[in-house]
Structure 1
Amino acid sequence: MTDTRSDRIAAYIGLGSNLDGPRTHVSRAFSELDALPLTQLAGHSSLYASTPVGPQDQPDFINAVARVFTRLSPLALLDQLQALEQRHRRVRQRHWGPRTLDLDLLLYANLEWQTPRLTLPHPAMHERAFVLIPLAELAPEIVLDGYTAATLAMPHQGRDLRRLVP
C-alpha cells in the first residue's frame, strides 16, 4: 500500500503542559505523535507560554499545535492521544487543573462530529488564544465557521500568550 498524503487525513492536535518541565513534555510529544500507528507528524507551531484557563493557582502552560496525517479513525486517534498522555503520567485531579501533558484533538479534516467522548471541531477552540494563535501560525488558511484561522486569531494577539524562542 502506498503511503501518500492523499490517502491520509489531516488532523490538528493542541498540546499543553504546565508540570514537571512542560517545555520538555511538549517537545517530546512532537516526536511521540510521529511514532503513533498509521500517523505521521507533518509540522507543528512554535511553543507559546500562556496563563491557565480556570484555576489560577497553578503554573503557566506551554502550548503548541501539531498537524498529523493519519489513517486512524477519530476515536482511534483519540485513544492514542490519551495513551500518550498516560505515558507522560497525566493525572486528572480537577477540571482545568495542572497536567504533565494535555492533548486535544482539535480538527479531523473537515469532519463535524459529536459523540459522548469527542466533539469535532473542538468546541472551545474558537475562544482560546493558546489554540488559535499556534493554529494560525501552522495553518492560517484553515477555515472554521467561515473564517480562516488567521482571521480568528487576530483579536487574540497579545492576550496572555507569548511566543517562546527556541
Structure 2
Amino acid sequence: MTLCYIGLGSNLANPLAQIKQATLALQALPSAADISVSSLYGSKPMGPQDQPDYVNAVVQLNWSASALELLDALQQIEQDHGRERKAERWGARTLDLDIILFGQQQIQNERLTVPHYGMKTREFVLYPLAELAPELTLPCGMELSQLLNQVPKNGLTLLTATAKYNQPILSHQ
C-alpha cells in the first residue's frame, strides 16, 4: 500500500456536493483503503477571475495499485461528475482531482507529474494537507511546515470543521 494525497476542487454544479460525492466515489475504489478527508475550504480561482470561487479539500488514502491506475480512476470519477477537459488550463470545472503525492515517489512522464507541480505554492492544497499530515516531509526533503510559513492563506476560508471530515471513513480489508 502506498500512502497518497489527492487534491479535490470544484466550482460548478454545487461544489460542496461535488466534493462530498467525489469522496464517496474514492471510498468505492477497490484499491483504496483508510481514507481520511480534510476540512473543506473556499478559495479564489486561479487564472481567469470571472468564475465562481472554489471548494477545495485533500484526501489521504492508502492505494494498492500503480500511480497510473490511480490517475485513471481519478479521471473516471471526474468524467462521471461532468468534467469537461478544455484548452483553458484554469477554467471553471465541476470536479478536479489531482494526485498531490504518491508515497515518496517522484514520477515524471507524459501523463503524470508527482509530486504535483504546483503543490508548493497553492494554499488550497497546503493548508488542507497540513490537517492530515502536519509532520509531512516531501520527497525533495522539504518539510510541509516550511511551505506553510512561505505561502499565505490568500483569502482561503474554512467551510467545514475538521472534526466532521478528518476521520477514517472506510477501510477495505
After TM superposition, the score normalised by the length of structure 1 is: 0.91
- Higher percent of residues as strand: 1
Structure 2 partner of 1:3: none
Percent of pairs with identical residues: 47
List runs of 5+ in structure 2 lacking aligned partners: 162-173
Instruction: Establish whether residue 156 from structure 1 lines up as the match of residue 133 from structure 2.
Output: no
Instruction: Establish whether residue 101 from structure 1 lines up as the match of residue 95 from structure 2.
Output: yes
Query: CA separation in 1, counterparts of 2:20 and 2:35?
Result: 14
Whose relative contact order is higher, 1 or 2, with alpha carbons under 8 Å and at least 6 apart? 2
Instruction: Establish whether residue 51 from structure 1 lines up as the match of residue 51 from structure 2.
Output: no
Instruction: Establish whether residue 110 from structure 1 lines up as the match of residue 131 from structure 2.
Output: no
Aligned residue pairs: how many? 159
What amino acid is aligned across from residue 79 of structure 1 in structure 2? D
Structure 1 partner of 2:13: 20
How far has the Cα of 1:42 moved from its partner?
Answer: 2.2
Where has structure 1 moved over 6 Å in runs of 4 or more?
Answer: none
SS in structure 1 opposite 2:89? coil
What amino acid is aligned across from residue 107 of structure 2 in structure 1? W
What amino acid is aligned across from residue 155 of structure 1 in structure 2? Q
What amino acid is aligned across from residue 115 of structure 2 in structure 1? P
Query: CA separation in 2, counterparts of 1:27 and 1:156?
Result: 26
List runs of 5+ in structure 1 lacking aligned partners: 1-7
SS in structure 1 opposite 2:93? coil
SS in structure 1 opposite 2:3? strand
RMSD: 1.2
SS in structure 1 opposite 2:125? helix
Query: CA separation in 2, counterparts of 1:130 and 1:61?
Result: 9
What amino acid is aligned across from residue 34 of structure 1 in structure 2? Q
Query: CA separation in 1, counterparts of 2:38 and 2:122?
Result: 15
